[in-house]
Chain A
Amino acid sequence: MATVEERVKEVTAQVLKLTPDEIKLEDSFTADLGAESVQSIELVAMFEEEFGIEMDEDAALSVETVGKAIEFITEVCKEQGVDVEQ
């Protein structure tokens, strides 16, 4: 199974029309990767689908970087009893 990081990068690349190699942990979704507000909403939706979790919209959308998103999703998976590869 791919790690959380790999899966997050894969989804991000798909939504923002990038390749996973272009995405770094410190990248900001908006400032560095060019995510517009609509794409941010799509990203949250796609992360939920990918990991089978429910995320609080306000908390999810306050995450700014890819690295923070990985931490946040890992935490939510843990809370909701979803097994993931670290």
Chain B
Amino acid sequence: MVFSKGSKGKGPRLAGTQRDPTCGNPIMGKWGRIEAGLASSKLVSKLETGSRILDKNEFRVSRTSNDTSIDNLKRNCPARRESSRLRSPPSRGQACPCGSRGGFVALRRRKGTRLAGTQRNRFMRLILLDSPNPDSIGRGNFYPMALSHPLWELRCGFTSLGQKLVDKVGVSDVAYFVADYMADSYRAKAESAGSPVNPAPRRGRVNDSSILDGDDLLVLDPRVKAESFDIAAKGPSEVGLDEQGSLLYARITKDDLTRLPTDEIGKFITEAKERLPNVRSALPTWRYIWDLILANAEQITADFAAAAQYGIEGTVEQPNAIRGSKKDVYIAPGAMVHPMVVIDTEHGPVYIDEDAEIHPFTRIEGPCYIGKKTILLGAKCHEGNSIGPLCRIGGEVEESIIQGYSNKYHDGFLGHAYVGEWVNLGAFTTNSDLKNDYSTVSVMLDGRRAIDTGSVKVGSLIGDHVKTSIGTLFNTGSYVGPMALIMGTGKPLPKFIPAFAWFIEGIVTKGFGKGKLYETAKMAMSRRDCQWTQAEQSMWDAVFEMTAPMRNQAIKKGRRAMLNR
């Protein structure tokens, strides 16, 4: 566990922390370290006498004779771990010199809703099938993110849609079919170890038709909502279609696989729909990218329940405040919560993942998920945020999803937004998520047709590698294509900014071209020890071509404005 993780160098160690001289643990109050200068005299007095302040009803409880968490105790107690390495471990019931009586029990598991498929209802193999046609309407509904990600990489709650499906289906053998232009790029992530903090749901082959042969198979559209997926693993082959006749799932037995062409996925699906029994499926699906934003708070709550754990395994430095139930907080190993942080669980749980760091004066309102190695810098983190791995987030953020590796270091409001990877939002970048007349928000995903979201609150949809200058103002329901570079004008910007646009002095220009944008992307990635690959560049070249019509149209419009100045 626990508090000792911080003391072993995973996070910055603050001067003045009182440590037990024997086991080296920071001496704790209710919520973690008691900094010498901040502890009350009463507390110090108790610390000096060797007794510890514990709240048995909350996180850290002393072991009692009927405590069944002995294994956890043994595993978690840093003194025991150290003892087992250097000297004989303390016997059961023997108090650690720091007063923990055999361990700091910070973690409790509670009954949760397990997502994974049960042994009785377990599929043999799973194929996650993104549309092979990049222009299909289904994918376009998830732009700008779907331009550079398979749909299952999109995030809602703690994890990606793909991870939820894999957990729900309960299968270890997973393969992926993605649009051809992103196959090489995604292959690096899915077939190798991938990124340690943002991996594919499982290691698996990409666009490899040979996997269509073999044992029973489940083909799944990633738009299917995992929590509603209730198709039995065993049974005759069947193809579930939505109202438009699009495949949502196909359960195909080993025998039937031999009757289908397995050389190409498109042909395979077409033949499966023709030859196998079709059923009209009412499985709920994600329809638009803003569905994820609007469902995020509820999904975080559900994911927290499914994770079935609460407590502190990281370091919490005093003074801090928890408002609401402490059973709705989990702080993972290596996470570091600095002093003067408020965690408010009145409206939902807060999950702070491994090695995250929460700086002073941050307020986190649940439901909220903070991803691995993410840093919150005095942020006002309102309810409903999922912040992916390796982000740096300050300012005010509300009901937003930030995919990962993105920075919003400074002040400025981000609400009901979906932010891609490698985004940098300059100081005071702000988006509107509510119209002045409280009417529903429309979004242009293709630059032509406005789609009514049906929600009065939708902020910005910001693609990968977008960079904004200081003072950028996004209108309600704005779309910002990936790789766009934006210089704020002091006024709300147009609601559609195409991919690779250089938005300068109020107009879309060609700017310095995509080469300079690639150089910036490489630089940004190298700062997080990630590498820009040739496969990635090829994918972006394809995105550049796919998005050229809208960009060129915007550039022409900009030229006209420039000439009229």
Residue ranges of A at the interface with B (Cβ–Cβ < 8 Å): 37-38, 41-42, 44-46, 48-49, 56-58, 61
Contacts and interface: CB of A to CB of B under 8 A. Distances in A.
Contacts of A41: 502, 504, 509-512
B424 to A, nearest CB: 18
Contacts of B504: 38, 41
B135 interface: no
A23 to B, nearest CB: 20
B499 to A, nearest CB: 15
A57 to B, nearest CB: 3
A61 B515 CA distance: 12
Contacts of B509: 41-42, 45
Nearest to A42: B562
B513 interface: yes
Contact of B562 (A45, A57, A58, A61): A45
A57 B487 CA distance: 19
A45 B559 contact: yes
A54 to B, nearest CB: 9
A47 to B, nearest CB: 11
B563 interface: yes
Nearest to B558: A45
Nearest to B563: A49
B505 interface: yes
Contacts of A48: 559
Contacts of B558: 45
Given A38-B504, A49-B563, A44 B510 contact: yes
A49 B562 CA distance: 10
| Nearest 8 CB-CB pairings of A with B | A57-B513, A58-B515, A41-B509, A41-B511, A58-B513, A38-B504, A57-B510, A57-B512
21 contacts: A38-B505, A41-B504, A41-B510, A41-B511, A41-B512, A42-B505, A42-B509, A44-B510, A45-B509, A45-B558, A46-B563, A48-B559, A49-B562, A49-B563, A56-B513, A57-B511, A57-B512, A57-B516, A58-B512, A58-B515, A61-B513
B447 to A, nearest CB: 20
A70 B559 CA distance: 21
A57 B515 contact: yes
A5 B191 CA distance: 56
Contacts of B515: 57-58
Contacts of B510: 41, 44-45, 57
B70 to A, nearest CB: 65
B9 to A, nearest CB: 43
